[in-house]
Structure formats: structure tokens, C-alpha cells
């Protein structure tokens, strides 16, 4: 079971993701977490993936969907603290060029300007 905790920092919403983002588990929760923020008018979203233990193609698809939905709503979604396996998957799928990826939360938050 994945856990999603949201907190605010300098006008940005940081979503701490813990556990697996896989089909039927974290993928739906990720979608709901992002949509909830957008419906509350929160347009600066940082996904902190430091504690993600596993991600599958469904989870990757949900990351792309979250990015697309956020962009369509006029917001920005950024990723931080990618575990090596998640980073490697994004490189292999060439999605690393789609997402803005940061080494730290502070850098990600500051990049909103």
C-alpha cells in the first residue's frame, strides 16, 4: 500500500510518496492526490519520490498523466529525490526529458520562481 502525505512549502505543494506505485495500488492514489490539489487551486506540485520502493508501467503512466493533467490546468509538476531504479526507468523510457527533476525539495520549490 502506498502512502501519500501533502505539505506546503513556500507556496508549493509537496507530496511525499511512500511505498509502491504499481497497478491497482499507488497509481490510483497518485491520480487522486494530484487531482485533489488541482481542484483546491494548488498549481505548484512537487512529487517527493525518495521513499518509493517500486514502480511499474502503470505507475510510470500515472506520473505522465499527473504531469499532463497539471499542465492542462495551468500548473507545474516537478519530481524530486528519485531513487536510482525510478531514475533509470525514466531514462530508459526517455521520460527524463519530459519531467523537471531535482535533487532536493528546496531546488524544486525554488524553480517555480
Calculate the alpha carbon distances from 3 to 22, 60, 74, 110 in Å: 12, 17, 26, 25
pLDDT of residue 48 exceeding 80: yes
Residue 16 has pLDDT above 80, yes or no: yes
Q: Can you tell me the distance from the alpha carbon of 106 to that of 23, in angstroms, rounded to the nearest whole number?
A: 30
For residues 74-96, average pLDDT: 96
pLDDT reported for residue 113: 87
pLDDT band at 7 (very low <50, low <70, confident <90, very high): very high
Q: Look at residue 1 and tell me whether its pLDDT is greater than 80.
A: no
Domain range summary for the chain, segments of one domain joined by +: 3-110
Domain range 3-110, CATH architecture: 2-Layer Sandwich (3.30)
Amino acid at each position: 500500500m502506498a502512502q501519500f502525505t501533502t505539505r506546503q512549502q513556500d507556496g508549493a505543494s509537496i507530496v511525499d510518496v511512500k511505498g509502491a506505485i504499481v497497478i491497482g495500488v499507488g497509481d490510483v492514489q497518485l491520480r487522486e492526490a494530484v487531482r485533489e490539489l488541482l481542484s483546491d487551486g494548488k498549481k505548484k506540485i512537487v512529487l517527493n519520490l525518495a521513499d518509493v520502493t517500486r514502480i511499474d508501467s502503470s505507475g510510470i503512466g500515472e506520473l505522465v498523466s499527473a504531469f499532463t493533467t497539471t499542465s492542462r490546468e495551468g500548473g507545474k509538476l516537478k519530481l524530486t529525490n528519485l531513487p536510482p531504479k525510478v531514475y533509470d526507468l525514466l531514462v530508459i523510457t526517455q521520460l527524463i526529458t519530459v519531467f523537471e527533476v531535482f535533487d532536493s525539495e528546496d531546488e524544486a520549490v525554488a524553480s517555480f520562481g
